[in-house]
């Protein structure tokens, strides 16, 4: 049995800018167990997004090892990275990145259809998730017809559609007012727990981080 959803070892990343090299990640080690919700804390510029991009297999240029659900993913080719992203990962960003011409349900159905669900299966699953997030009455609304909090709930449902082993979220409520952010975060965490996914959630908000199972802090390129 695999006892880890994510194992990062010795992860490094530096950027060259104007003749200067900035070492953003200097050997990050991180273990996330199945169903565990981990808060990634760190001040602005500490490298939270860089770390999530590495784990999300969205960018190259990293040193070290990234095991997702037991599979070494750091050196996969583009097709392999796409497969792991599609089959194992879900993403929530600060800005929802919903498709503007698709309604709420269709936005959630899309990742399911890409993974060979039938239309009926995709629709059922989207309805189930959106209803669990209190959006059962907004299924046919387009993103522009939804509030910011509702849009972010749709993004949460989309991330969980394929029952990912690991959800990666970068300031998932950073674009919402404080009261809405608290409610959406609580619903997000409840749904992730209910679905049994693990999550790595970047935030610079200590109060929010304390609602998660464990907190790790990025400091000078390493995790403490």
Ligand X SMILES: Nc1ncnc2c1ncn2[C@@H]1O[C@H](COP(=O)(O)OP(=O)(O)OP(=O)(O)O)[C@@H](O)[C@H]1O
**CA–CA distance, 83 with 138 (Å, rounded to integer):** 31
Binds ligand X by CB under 6 A, chosen from 8, 38, 42, 107: 42
Residue range at the interface with ligand X (CB under 6 A); choices 47-55, 68-76, 150-158, 185-193: 47-55
Binds ligand X by CB under 6 A, chosen from 2, 10, 23, 45: 45
User: Per DSSP, what are the bridge partners of residue 67?
Assistant: 7, 72
- Pair of tokens at residue 31: 């273990």
> Residue 143 contacts by C-beta under 8 Å, 6 or more apart in sequence?
96, 98, 99, 100, 104, 107, 151, 154
**CA–CA distance, 97 with 107 (Å, rounded to integer):** 10
**What would the DSSP string read from start to end of 7-26?**
EEEEEEEEEEETTEEEEEEE
DSSP 139: T
In whole angstroms, how close is the CB of 32 to ligand X at the nearest point? 18
Q: Considering CB under 6 A, how many residues would be counted as binding ligand X?
A: 13
49 lies in the binding site for ligand X (CB under 6 A): yes
60/134 with CB nearer ligand X: 60
44/144 with CB nearer ligand X: 44
**CA–CA distance, 78 with 101 (Å, rounded to integer):** 28
**CA–CA distance, 202 with 90 (Å, rounded to integer):** 14
47/143 with CB nearer ligand X: 47
- Pair of tokens at residue 126: 């989207």
**Contact, 189 vs 36, CB < 8 A?**
no
44 lies in the binding site for ligand X (CB under 6 A): yes
141/204 with CB nearer ligand X: 204
Binding mask 191-220 for ligand X (x = CB under 6 A): -------------x----------------
Calculated CA dihedral for residues 173, 98, 116, 70, nearest 10 degrees:
-30
Binds ligand X by CB under 6 A, chosen from 30, 39, 48, 165: 48
Residue range at the interface with ligand X (CB under 6 A); choices 26-34, 37-45, 100-108, 135-143: 37-45
136 lies in the binding site for ligand X (CB under 6 A): no
Residue range at the interface with ligand X (CB under 6 A); choices 43-51, 78-86, 119-127, 145-153: 43-51
Residues that bind ligand X (CB under 6 A): 15, 17, 22, 24, 42, 44-50, 204
């Amino acid at each position: 049995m695999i006892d880890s959803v994510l194992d990062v070892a010795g992860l490094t990343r530096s950027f060259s800018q104007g003749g200067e090299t900035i070492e953003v990640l200097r050997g990050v080690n991180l273990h996330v167990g199945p169903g565990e919700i981990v808060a990634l804390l760190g001040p602005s510029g500490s490298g939270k997004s860089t770390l999530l991009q590495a784990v999300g297999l969205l960018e190259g240029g990293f040193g070290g090892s990234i095991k997702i659900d037991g599979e070494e993913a750091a050196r996969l080719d583009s097709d392999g990275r796409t497969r792991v992203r599609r089959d194992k990962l879900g993403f929530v960003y600060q800005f929802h990145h919903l498709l503007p011409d698709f309604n709420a349900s269709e936005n959630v159905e899309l990742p399911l259809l890409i993974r060979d669900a039938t239309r009926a299966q995709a629709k059922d699953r989207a309805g189930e998730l959106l209803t669990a997030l209190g959006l059962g009455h907004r299924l046919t609304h387009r993103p522009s017809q939804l509030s910011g909090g509702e849009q972010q709930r749709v993004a949460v449902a989309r991330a969980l559609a394929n029952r990912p082993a690991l959800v990666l979220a970068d300031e998932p409520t950073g674009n919402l007012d404080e009261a809405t952010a608290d409610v959406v975060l609580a619903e997000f965490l409840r749904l992730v727990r209910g679905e049994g996914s693990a999550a790595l959630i970047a935030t610079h908000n200590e109060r929010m981080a304390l609602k998660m199972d464990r907190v790790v802090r990025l400091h000078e390129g390493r995790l403490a």
